[in-house]
Structure 1
Amino acid sequence: MSIEKYRNETIKEKIKKAFSLKEDVASNEEIRTRLLDGGRVTGTNMCVLVCAMVIASVGLNMSSIPVIIGAMLISPIMGSILAAAYGSVSADYPLFRNHMIGFGLQIAISVTAAAIYFLLSPVKEPTAELMARTSPTFFDVLIAFFGGLAGIIGQTRDDKANTVIPGVAIATALMPPLCTCGYSIATGRWDMLLGAGYLFIINAYFIFLAASVILSVLKIPKTHELTEKEWRRHRLRMVRNTIIIAIPSIVAVYSMIQ
């Protein structure tokens, strides 16, 4: 083997090693424990969630960015998305269903808490921060997907001190769109409800998709093996859902540049 070829291979190996997800990955059992514990819907988590929603609602109502960021940092809602992704990739559909039900309950309680706040708030006019959550574009898709990638990579590392999730929580912003949905319901601004709801769907779905991709790459153990036909149907369903959810955001970007 020539020295030149040896050097090229060495560089390739170094690059491959630098971007390898399996280099410092936690054990499968550790990953499962972290994700499922983070997705548990308990009384404590629900109380924290309500507190986060009220804080976020106040921040949006007063156009206070630091307050909104604080609410996003304490919200536990992202845990349910990552746990649901684990259930999907591991083919544990009862687990997936349970976490999706818990996620739906978190959404209902979050929107209710926000709606009650805005019903009681003397400030009824939509602020700039509220309006900013009503016009999602494809850029929000990119933020949610790459934020989800960063989040799940952080959660699957051997190092337990995960400093990634707080940044992901701020970047992907799950709480403000839900607060805006609550505002829309409380004030009858149904024009804002559609945009805010769509932004939340973008954020939640593409975090889920990114987590599913990384967990698949890491070959998370499955509860039972699926046939090739079942896997093909599963992949086609994911592609179909991704296209359907992304299309309106692409149209919005196209409208902006016209």
Structure 2
Amino acid sequence: MTSTDDEALAIEPRTNERMRDRFRSATAMLSTAVALRGLAAIVAGTAVLLLPDATTTLVTVIVVVLFAIGGVADLVFAVSGHRWLRRPINRWLAALRGLAALLATAVLGLIAFAGSGEITLVIVVAVLGVYIGIRGVVAVIAALLRRRDRDPLPRLAAGSIAIVAGVLAFVVPASLAATVIIAGATVSLLVGLVLIAWSVRRAGQETGLDPSTATITEVVWDWIEGSDLGRATRAEQASGLYFENPSRATKLGTWWVMLLLSVAIATFAVLADSTAVVIGAMLVAPLMTPILGLSGALVNGWGRRAVESSLLVLAGAVVAVALAYGIAAWAPVAISFDTNTQIISRVSPNTIDMLIALAAGAAGAFATVNTRVASGIAGVAIAVALVPPLAVVGVSLNGGRFDDAGGASLLFLTNFVAIVLAAAAVFVLTGFARPFALRKRPRQILQTVAPFVALAGIVMVPLMLTSEGLLQSDTRLRDAQETAVTWLGDDSDFIVTDVRIDGDQVQVTISGGGDPPSASSLRDALQADFDEPVGLRLAVVPVDVTVIPAPVG
């Protein structure tokens, strides 16, 4: 055996020992109570996203059970004065709230067991909307009755929010349920990652928290304090977000030049209906910088920087719309607003656009703080698309299409608000926000962030209405397709080739040989699927088959 073989045999035990040590260390880090809660949160969030059918069933059962428990608890308090939760409320109002909860439970029970059909998540959310609305009214009344004892504004605000949420849940239950479930699963994943990351970092960093007794809030706050970047690093990163001395004028001038060029590129791309050129405009556009700067200023309590960033975004948006309007007015092209894909894709935003912007804002903030992934900021710019909606606004205003201009404006506002909120959350978790400011001036910071949260709530209303309309359209189209296939039957020589819905008319195209079934029977079957009167346009494409056998010999 050579000396080289001896050395290899000596090294192998040491390598195995190091691997065993690392495995034991990782096991110890992930076996704490905090890490186990993090793993549970990640598993729960993943299960919600991967098992939608099971999730909807579970959520439905949980909501119904909570209805019953909440109603019984309120009635017990109304009769005996004993509270399960330490929240003061008038006993008559508690009785009203309890009756509303039990009434909601009874309605759901009738739906399930009286032959009206199974309880679906949409029905549960709609009933929940009525209940939340009633609770909001109760909260407003309670605030008015106790206005002499305490400040009524917080309760009035909470009650008003509950009323709005209840109306939304009743009007657009499907889109609201989907949005809440996706958001909840995402938050569960993020919280789980933070808890596990804290457990890993705790192994090499002293902390005063006991993992066996620490709450999730305490762990998150300890994570924020431990992630503090420090004054020097924070100042270095802030220099890329704010246009300040030295060379303030040069920085602003460069920003404006890039904005004007990106708007020009985006406008010409919209006029030419070119997706590739629109992507180029997204890469050039500099609007993301002041928006991220606004988020950083909000969570750090930098009032002057927040105002300057807001004004820069506002001025940039106004100039972008004006420039796009002027280019469209002088461009020697005719625009088809009904077929231009760049316009069509940006005039009907929905909740998916809000979720995209939230993810893009979080990615942009993380790329700002972590220089190792700074190259990903280009992908963020493509994902969120800030300048193209402004170009569509200008082009639509020039063409007198005010509805399209409003839809594109809503898309830009959606992207703006979502980026601000998502980036603010990431800045807090990654240490860009000063822990001192968060600890000493939480009320001030919350007051500066609250208007953007309220604006996000306002923006969500039309987004959910659009999403609900899309969901209903998809459901109607799917029902119409199934009805048409059933109408033909299994032994028919015809096949359904196309089904469309245009207003109150269903357009069905079939192809095959022979005589199709009666069109009136199809219309009657379709009418059973629709609440409002429906018409039918049936197109039959005949198929003639000619067979010529091959010659013999």
User: TM (normalized to structure 1)?
Assistant: 0.86
Instruction: Name the residue aligned to 1:250.
Output: 464
Cα distance in 2 for partners of 1:154, 1:245 equals 26
What is the one-letter code of the residue matched to 2:399? T
Equivalent residue letter for 1:91: G
Which residue is 2:11 aligned to?
none
Q: For residues 47 and 235 of structure 1, do their structure 2 counterparts lie closer, same or farther at Cα, with a shift above 3 Å needed?
A: closer
Q: Deviations over 1:65-119 (max 9, x none)?
A: 1110011001111101001111111111111001111111111211111111101
Query: Is 1:149–2:362 an aligned residue pair?
Result: yes
After TM superposition, the structure 1 = structure 2 runs for residues 16-165 of structure 1, keeping only pairs within 5 Å, are 16-17=196-197, 27-40=230-243, 42-125=252-335, 126=337, 127-159=340-372, 162-165=374-377
Q: What amino acid sits opposite 2:455 in the alignment?
A: N
Secondary structure at the residue paired with 1:188?
coil
Q: Partners in 1 of 2:25 and 2:197 — Cα distance?
A: 18
CA–CA distance in structure 2, aligned partners of residues 25 and 65 of structure 1 = 41
- Of 387, 390, 393, the residue aligned with 1:178 is 390
1:115-152 C-alpha deviation (Å, 9 max, x unpaired): 11101112232222112110000000000000111110
Q: Write the deviation string for residues 28-76 of structure 1: whole angstroms up to 9, x where unpaired.
A: 5434443443443611211111111111111111111111001100111
Match of 1:197 among 409, 413, 437: 409
> 1:180 Cα shift?
0.5
SS at match of 1:37: coil
Unaligned runs of 5+ in 1: none
2:434 is the counterpart of 1:221: yes
Which stretch of structure 1 is more off in the superposition, 101-110 or 18-27?
Answer: 18-27
The 3 A distance-change label for structure 1 pair 136 and 88 is same
1:199-232 deviations in Å (ceiling 9; x for gaps): 0000111011111111122341278665554455
Q: What is the alpha-carbon distance in structure 2 between the residues aligned to residue 48 and residue 7 of structure 1?
A: 51
Quick one: distance in 2 between partners of 1:151 and 1:73?
13
Between structures 1 and 2, the one with greater strand share: 2
Q: 1:7 aligns with which of 24, 27, 48?
A: 27
- Secondary structure at 1:83's aligned position in 2? helix
Distance 1:72 1:232, change over 3 A: closer
Counterparts of 2:442 and 2:295, CA distance in 1: 20
Q: C-alpha root-mean-square deviation of aligned residues, in Å?
A: 3.1
Counterpart secondary structure, 2:27: helix
Structure 1 residues 47 and 138, CA gap change in structure 2 (3 angstroms): same
**Higher relative contact order, chain-length normalized (CA < 8 Å, sep 6+):** 1
Structure 1 residues 231, 255: CA separation in 2 closer, same or farther (over 3 Å shift)?
same
> More displaced, 101-110 or 136-145?
101-110
Q: How far apart, CA to CA, are the structure 2 residues paired with 1:237 and 1:103? A: 16
The amino acid that maps onto 1:141 is M
Letter in 2 for 1:42: L
Distance 1:32 1:182, change over 3 A: farther
The structure with the largest alpha-carbon Rg is 2
The CA distance in 2 between the partners of 1:228 and 1:31, in whole Å, is: 19
Unpaired segments ≥5 residues, structure 2: 1-22, 40-192, 202-222, 244-250, 473-553
Once structures 1 and 2 are overlaid, which stretch shifts more, 13-22 or 202-211? Answer: 13-22
Q: Indicate the larger mover: 219-228 or 107-116.
A: 219-228
Letter of the 1:250 partner, please give it.
Answer: M
Would you say the 8 A contact 2:298–2:449 is kept in 1?
no
1:232–1:83 Cα change, 3 Å: closer
- Residue 247 of structure 1 aligns to which amino acid in structure 2? V
Q: Show CA shifts across 1:223-250 (max 9, x none).
A: 8665554455456544323211222111
Moved more, 196-205 or 6-15: 6-15
- Judge which range, 38-47 or 248-257, deviates more: 38-47
Q: Distance in 1 between matches of 2:347 and 2:381?
A: 19
Give the percent of matched residue pairs that are identical in Structure 1 and Structure 2.
Answer: 24
Q: Is the Cα–Cα contact under 8 Å of residues 325 and 394 in structure 2 kept in the other structure?
A: yes
